[in-house]
């Protein structure tokens, strides 16, 4: 559609504005696109950026990448936001000691997760790991299960594979959870995205331990999450999780700080106001607004 509109541009043609919330080229090996399809999608993605009058980008990495592809385009950093929670919204309450991992099975390698879990299990043998989410490809889940079995029978027995998880199941699960984890390798795939799941988990008050990769570092800033340095070894990540699980007061602090941080920095009325200002400036055809990330 953008190509069609571009070919028919005239003096009265509305400006073409693009929204980028991911980097499709990073998904090509994960989705096993045929070579020709991968090359076409890469061309399409960059053509669209070069022929946009303005771009909104969901992550800082995308802001930088888009700026390289189209240095003259006005860019607005617009992460995924949240709405104020309803009175009956899903809320975490302290008391649990298990770990929840929301995953599409692409955030870290099977070996990384198995090593993390084997390490944590030694320190906290009664803790269970709940893995929620459907894999991008069925074989990915199988690879993670094999590595977990290799980590040891007892450790593997304390892993619960939930698959896609409905809201009602989460409501029943939250009382058992001491923290949720969001490990991520410092790859393009993880740096480009802006996780709605991380935002909603923080908003619900679940204490979070997350890799400081891409937008996760921003969502978890100011004490909203316990951030682990990008590239940290799984043993280091496990040590951080163990410390959070062992300190109920720290869990409660993370919970309160996360909700406050999300409501103050990522509420849609505020983000919507920035978007409105960005569009207004573009429509005036004047100097673009400040395109620096939040």
Pairing mode of beta strands 54-57, 17-20? parallel
Predicted confidence (pLDDT) per residue in 61-118, tens digit: 999 999 999 999 999 999 999 988 877 777 888 888 999 999 999 999 999 999 999 9
User: What does the mean pLDDT of the chain come to?
Assistant: 91
Tell me the pTM.
Answer: 0.91
Phi first, then psi: what are they for 92, rounded to 5°? -80, 150
Please name the helix (run of DSSP H) or strand (run of DSSP E) that holds residue 280, with its range, or none. helix 268-284
Q: With beta carbons less than 8 A apart as the criterion, state whether 183 and 116 touch.
A: yes
Q: How many CB atoms within 10 Å of residue 34?
A: 9
Domains of the chain with CATH codes? 13-81+267-284 (3.40.50.2000), 98-264 (3.40.50.2000)
Predicted confidence (pLDDT) per residue in 138-156, tens digit: 899 999 999 999 888 889 9
To which residue do tokens 């320190």 refer? 123
For residues 4 and 27, give the distance between their C-alpha atoms in angstroms, rounded to a whole number. Answer: 25
């Amino acid at each position: 559609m953008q190509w069609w509109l571009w070919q028919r541009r005239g003096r009265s043609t509305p400006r073409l504005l693009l929204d980028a919330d991911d980097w499709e080229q990073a998904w090509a090996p994960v989705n096993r696109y045929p070579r020709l399809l991968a090359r076409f999608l890469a061309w399409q993605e960059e053509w669209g950026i070069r022929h946009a009058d303005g771009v909104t980008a969901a992550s800082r990495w995308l802001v930088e990448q888009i700026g390289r592809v189209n240095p003259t385009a006005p860019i607005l950093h617009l992460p995924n936001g949240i709405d104020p929670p309803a009175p009956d919204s899903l809320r975490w309450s302290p008391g649990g000691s298990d770990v929840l991992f929301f995953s599409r099975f692409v955030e870290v390698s099977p070996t990384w997760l198995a090593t993390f879990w084997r390490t944590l299990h030694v320190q906290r043998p009664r803790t269970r790991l709940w893995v929620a989410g459907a894999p991008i490809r069925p074989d990915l889940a199988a690879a993670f299960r094999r590595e977990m079995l290799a980590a040891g029978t007892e450790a593997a027995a304390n892993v619960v594979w939930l698959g896609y998880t409905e809201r009602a199941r989460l409501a029943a699960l939250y009382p058992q959870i001491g923290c949720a984890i969001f490990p991520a390798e410092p790859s393009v795939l993880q740096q480009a995205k802006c996780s709605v799941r991380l935002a909603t988990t923080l908003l619900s008050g679940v204490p979070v331990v997350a890799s400081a990769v891409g937008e996760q570092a921003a969502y978890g800033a100011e004490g909203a999450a316990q951030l682990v340095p990008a590239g940290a070894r799984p043993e280091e990540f496990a040590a951080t999780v163990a410390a959070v699980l062992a300190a109920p007061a720290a869990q409660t602090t993370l919970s309160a700080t996360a909700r406050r941080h999300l409501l103050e920095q990522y509420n849609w009325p505020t983000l919507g106001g920035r978007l409105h200002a960005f569009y207004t400036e573009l429509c005036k055809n004047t100097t673009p607004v400040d395109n620096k990330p939040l």
